[in-house]
Structure 1
Amino acid sequence: MPQPKSRKIAILGYRSVGKSSLTIQFVEGQFVDSYDPTIENTFTKMITIDGQEYHLQLVDTAGQDEYSIFPQTYSIDINGYILVYSVTSNKSFEVVQVIHEKLLDMVGKAQVPIMLVGNKNDLHMERVISCEEGKTLAESWRAAFMESSAKENQTAVEVFKRMIQEAEKLEGGVQSGKTSCSLM
C-alpha cells in the first residue's frame, strides 16, 4: 500500500448547524446531543479511500456569521472545505453563501475543493431549505453536495470520503500539468 497522505479539512458554517456533531460522528461514531459552542477543535482520523490511506486533520471551526472576519489560518495548508448549513434554517443557508465568498477572496483560487452539506435532514417537519436549493447552490459553486443527519449517522463518513475524493480530483488536475495559460 502507498504511503499515507496527510490531508487537512476545515469545516465551516453558521453556529449550531451541526459542524461538531458531523465531525464527532465521523471520528468517534457517536452523536453529541448537547450544544456547546465550539471555539475551535482539531480531530485526526485515519481512513482508506480507493486503496489509499489518508491521515486526516479536521479543523472544526467556531460558528461564523455574516460579520465574522474570515481567519487567515483557514486558508493555509487546507486541502478542502466542508461548508455546512442546516436544512431547518434560512439564516444558516444565507451565511454559508457569505462564508463561501469570503473563502474565495481569502484563498484566491477559482477552484477550491468544497463540499456543501445540508445537515439535520432528519428534521422533516422543520425543513425550510429544499434539497434542490442546496444542489443548485453547490452547482453554481462547482462544488460537491450532500445532505446529512449527524444525529442518525446517515452520511457522516460519506461526507468526509467525498470531500477527500473532490480534493484529490482537483489536485490531480493541477499536478498532471493540465493548467493552461495564455499570454496576451
Structure 2
Amino acid sequence: MPPKERKIAFMGFRSVGKSSLIIQYVENQFVDSYDPTIENTFAKHTRVGGQEYDLHVVDTAGQDEYSVIPQSYFININGYVLVYSVNSHKSFEVVKHVYDKIIDMKGRMTVPIVLVGNKKDLRFERVISEEEGRRVAESWKVPFLEASAKENSSVKEIFDTILNTMKQKENGETTEKSSCLLS
C-alpha cells in the first residue's frame, strides 16, 4: 500500500511552541530559541496503525484574534493542530478564534482538529488547567492533549492523534462513536 500524503497545519498564537513541537517530532530535537515563524513546511515519513504517511506539516506564523488567515491555510489542508500554551490566557483565547475561523471556512463535520496545550513542563507558570483545555475540546468534539516539546512529552501522540482523527473522518466515522479511542 503506498503512503498517503497528508498536510497538517499547526496554528495558534505566537510563541506557544508550534515550531518546537514540529521540530521535536521531525528532527528529534528541542529548539529553545524563539524566532518568529513566517511560514515553514516540514516533511516526515511515518507509520500509524499500519498505514504509512508522507506528512507535510505547515508551521504557520502565529495568529491573533484579528489575524486574517490566508486562504492557503484552508486549501489542501487535511487536518489542524491548534496549539495554546498552558502559561498564557491570551494564547487560549486566540486558539478559540482560530477554531471559529476554521469552522466558518470548512464546516464542523469535515475538519479533523486536535487541541493541544503545550509547555506542560512549566508547572509553576500554568494558568490554564488541563480541565479547562479538556472542556473546550469536548465542546468542539475534538481530541485534546497536553504536551511538552521540551520534555518530548506527548509529541508523537499529537501526530498519531491527528492522523487517526483524519482517518476516522475519511471513513465517515463520527467522533462520538470513537471518543473512547481518543481520550
Q: Does residue 160 of structure 2 align to residue 161 of structure 1?
A: yes
- How far off its partner does 1:109 sit? 4.4
TM-score (norm. length: structure 1): 0.92
Residue type of the partner of 1:10?
A
1:12-60 deviation line (CA, Å, top 9, x unaligned):
0000000000000000000001000000000000001111100000000
Where do 1:45-64 residues align within 5 Å?
45-64=44-63
Instruction: Return the letter of the residue paired with 2:124.
Output: M
Query: How many residue pairs are counted as aligned between the two chains?
Result: 173
Which residue pairs with 1:150 in the alignment?
149
CA distance in 1, matches of 2:77, 2:108: 13
3-state DSSP of counterpart to 2:91: helix
TM-score by length of 2: 0.92
- 4+ residue segments displaced more than 4 Å: none
Query: CA separation of 1:109/1:136 partners in 2, compared to 1, >3 Å: closer, same or farther?
Result: closer
Please give the alpha-carbon distance, in whole angstroms, between the structure 2 residues aligned to 1:162 and 1:41.
22
Match of 1:24 in 2: 23
Give the fraction of aligned pairs with identical amino acids, expressed as a percent: 61
Query: What does residue 14 of structure 1 align with?
Result: 13
Counterpart residue identity of residue 61, structure 1: T
1:143 maps to amino acid: V
Question: Where does structure 1 lack aligned partners over 5 or more consecutive residues?
Answer: 175-184
Asked if structure 2 preserves the Cα contact closer than 8 Å seen for 1:37 and 1:62, the reply is yes
Match of 2:92 in 1: 93
Give the structure 1 partner of residue 181 of structure 2. none
Structure 2: gaps of 5 or more residues: 174-183
Q: In the alignment, what sits opposite 1:136?
A: 135
Given that 1:86 and 1:92 are in contact with CA atoms closer than 8 Å, whether structure 2 keeps it comes out as: yes
Q: Quick one: distance in 1 between partners of 2:161 and 2:46?
A: 12
Letter in 1 for 2:32: D
